[in-house]
Amino acid sequence: MAAATPEDSSSTHVEKKSKQKLSKRYWEESKNPEQKSKPEEEPSKPEEEPSKPEEEPSKDVQIQNAATVKERSFKRKKGESDQPVKEDPFPGQAPIPTERLQKFRRGEKHKTPAGAGRKLKEAIVFSESVSELAQKQAARYDLLLPEDAGFLEGDDGEDTSTISQDDIADAVDITSGSKYFNLDLSQFGPYRLDYSRNGRHLLLGGRRGHVACIDWQSKELMCEMNVMETVNDVKWLHTEAMFAVAQKKWLYIYDSKGVELHCVKKFNDVLKMQFLPYHFLLATASATGFLQYLDVSVGKEVAGIGTKLGRLDVMAQNPYNAVVHLGHANGTVSLWSPNQREPLVKMLCHRGAVRSLTVDKTGMHMVTSGLDRKLKVYDIRAFKPLHSCFLPAGASCLSLSQKGLLSAATGDVVQVYKNACGSSTLSKPYMAHRLRGQVCGLAYCPFEDVLGIGHDQGFTSMIVPGAGEPNFDALDTNPYRSFKQRQEWEVKALLEKVQPELIGLDPGQLGKVDRASFEQRHKERVEALGFDPLAKEKFKPIKKKKGRSSAGSVEKRKRKVAHEDQRDVIRQSVQEKMQRQKEVEEKSKEKRELGMKTTLDRFRK
């Protein structure tokens, strides 16, 4: 048997290595099928350079690097960047002008009483800080209301009262021009009218029984009916889904479809109505001289007051404090609240009967007109007239807009005045418009430059630039709210309903401190409890041991306690006497100093 040479052994070794090679996968073979036919060539390996030995960092450097890595990861978690932050050249919040802060000021600051305790001081400081924060926030958020009211401006020397409604409608855009229109309803006039609080819906009531409610912006008719009875007044309730109609005999409530919901027979011969939205009260004035309040949320009569002042056909409400103003035939205007049987205030405004009156939204001014053909503006805070003017034909209807424009109807002409509640007297009208019939009712549309006029021949919508408030509170009255938002608002309004007991001349009185004397409050408390909780109990000496509770020692302790009050009185009288003596000495010293002085007085000690 021949021995194996080293060449043979090496070839067998190479064959074993080739057998141990793994076979390629099917997807690797399918990629390049051309490469199968080519012989496999071993790739040339690049010459490896001799690796340099790496220097290991020191322990201090490693610790420092770990710290920087941790710091960067912590900053990333907090959302901070590694780049250096530039300093703000104007740190803090932007300053607010004092004029804007004064606009949102809510009364004077409360002064801490002299004998106030720690809790009372903390409460006063907290309330003042909250009030100051609310004032600043309101002033800052005022910038988010950029809309402003624009008035009608004529050319040089041109009188704006001579510009007709047709010219205005042609000059403005199509949407604004469509707000001027006429409804020819001569068969059932004259008409009374009322706009909803958000300004979208219009309610019309004809004297001969015609009642209709309209979405006046889209000109969509919601309902129309004839009640076959005399209609004296119409009024929207808290939403546009319900309205009240004062018919010849009783008061009726309908929904927006014209379906009768209620017939309130307790309210008869109603001539005028006013709705108090935050109290859910419908105030009615009747021909028999009764002022009645109906709570529409529960359907209950809150108050019925006999004014004893005859027929009540002139009525208005103060939006600031929900007080009802009534005009009478003897020239007086009385202010009423459901809490009192007598008027809160009675003012003599005219020499003849009062024909119409209105109150601005701030509750500071009242405008009245009477048979003496005078138009007077009163300051309700002082109950004094600011100024008056003479109108040749007198004013039968008055209405004030949200921006203070006063409209007065004299016969078939409606005149609009600017700055009626200012210090200056009324001069020439801002705008004027002649109608086809006698004017019976005036009402400004909220948040729109529109004046609604009801007359014998129907209804006219008049464009009055600058009349409406351009910015509205969407949480209170939102003209664009959806059906769901209206439902939610109604629930919230019912939860926040103000009780009728809180109606008064000064609504801010609830937030004031009760400064009644301690004696008066103590007396009321004694009457309520039936005993005096602060009265001192009769002294009962404690029984002591070891002979210290003998009759003599007990009597001695009783006398000591009995004379404590007397000693306090004596001590207080002595202190008052010393205080008086000190004041007398100071006064005498002042008199001496103010007396005749000589040149040698400078050396006197």
Instruction: Give the span between the Cα atoms of 446 and 436, in whole angstroms.
Output: 25
83 pLDDT exceeds 90? no
334 pLDDT exceeds 80? yes
Q: Higher model confidence: residue 3 or residue 348? A: 348
Q: Which residues contact 154 (CB under 8 A, 6 or more apart)?
A: 160, 163
447 pLDDT exceeds 60? yes
Would you list the DSSP string of 264-275? EEEEESEEEEEE
How many other C-beta atoms can be found within 10 angstroms of the C-beta atom of residue 276? 23
- Please give the average per-residue pLDDT across 429-449, as a whole number: 93
How many other C-beta atoms can be found within 10 angstroms of the C-beta atom of residue 156? 4
Instruction: Give the span between the Cα atoms of 568 and 557, in whole angstroms.
Output: 17
DSSP H or E segment with residue 442: strand 439-444
pLDDT (0 to 100) of residue 88:
77
CA dihedral defined by 549, 553, 558, 561, rounded to 10 degrees? Answer: -110
DSSP state of 530: S
101 pLDDT exceeds 90? no
pLDDT (0 to 100) of residue 36:
46
Q: Is 312 exposed, middle or buried (0-12, 13-18, 19+ CB in 10 A)?
A: buried
Q: Which residues contact 482 (CB under 8 A, 6 or more apart)?
A: none
Residue 90 CA, distance from chain mean position: 33
pLDDT (0 to 100) of residue 152:
86
Q: Which residues contact 53 (CB under 8 A, 6 or more apart)?
A: none
Q: Higher model confidence: residue 55 or residue 71? A: 71
Q: Is 394 exposed, middle or buried (0-12, 13-18, 19+ CB in 10 A)?
A: buried
- Tell me the per-residue pLDDT of 133-153, one tens digit each, with 9 for 90 and over: 888 888 888 777 777 778 888
User: ω before 190 within 30° of 0 (cis)?
Assistant: yes
How many other C-beta atoms can be found within 10 angstroms of the C-beta atom of residue 450? 24
SS (H, E, C) 453-516: EEECCEEEEEECCCCCCCCCCCCCCCCCCCHHHHHHHHHHHHHCCCCHHHCCCCHHHHHCCCCC
Task: Assign 251 to helix, strand or coil.
Answer: strand
- Please give the average per-residue pLDDT across 72-97, as a whole number: 69
pLDDT (0 to 100) of residue 534:
74
Q: Is 444:407 a contact under the CB 8 Å cutoff? A: yes
Q: Which residues contact 325 (CB under 8 A, 6 or more apart)?
A: 315, 316, 317, 318, 333, 334, 335, 336, 357, 359, 366
- Please give the average per-residue pLDDT across 499-525, as a whole number: 81
pLDDT (0 to 100) of residue 537:
67
- Tell me the per-residue pLDDT of 367-423, one tens digit each, with 9 for 90 and over: 999 999 999 999 999 999 999 999 988 899 999 999 999 999 999 999 999 988 887
Q: Higher model confidence: residue 156 or residue 212? A: 212
- Please give the average per-residue pLDDT across 524-552, as a whole number: 77
Q: How far apart are the first and last CA of the chain?
A: 151
DSSP state of 243: E
- Please give the average per-residue pLDDT across 524-533, as a whole number: 84
Instruction: Give the span between the Cα atoms of 538 and 530, in whole angstroms.
Output: 18
Q: Is 325:357 a contact under the CB 8 Å cutoff? A: yes
Amino acid at 431: M
496 pLDDT exceeds 70? yes
pLDDT (0 to 100) of residue 41:
47
Task: Assign 339 to helix, strand or coil.
Answer: coil
Q: Average pLDDT over the chain, rounded to whole?
A: 84
pLDDT (0 to 100) of residue 85:
64
| C-alpha R_g of the chain | 44
pLDDT (0 to 100) of residue 59:
53
Strand pairing partners for 375? 369, 389
CATH number corresponding to 160-493 = 2.130.10.10
Instruction: Give the span between the Cα atoms of 94 and 592, in whole angstroms.
Output: 56
pTM for this model (two decimals): 0.69
pLDDT (0 to 100) of residue 326:
97
Q: Higher model confidence: residue 502 or residue 425? A: 502
pLDDT (0 to 100) of residue 10:
47
With CA atoms as reference, report the closest residue to 368 among 341, 339, 399.
399
* Spatial strand order in the sheet of 201-206: 191-195, 201-206, 210-215, 220-226
pLDDT (0 to 100) of residue 193:
96
Q: Is 302:324 a contact under the CB 8 Å cutoff? A: no
Q: Is 320 exposed, middle or buried (0-12, 13-18, 19+ CB in 10 A)?
A: middle
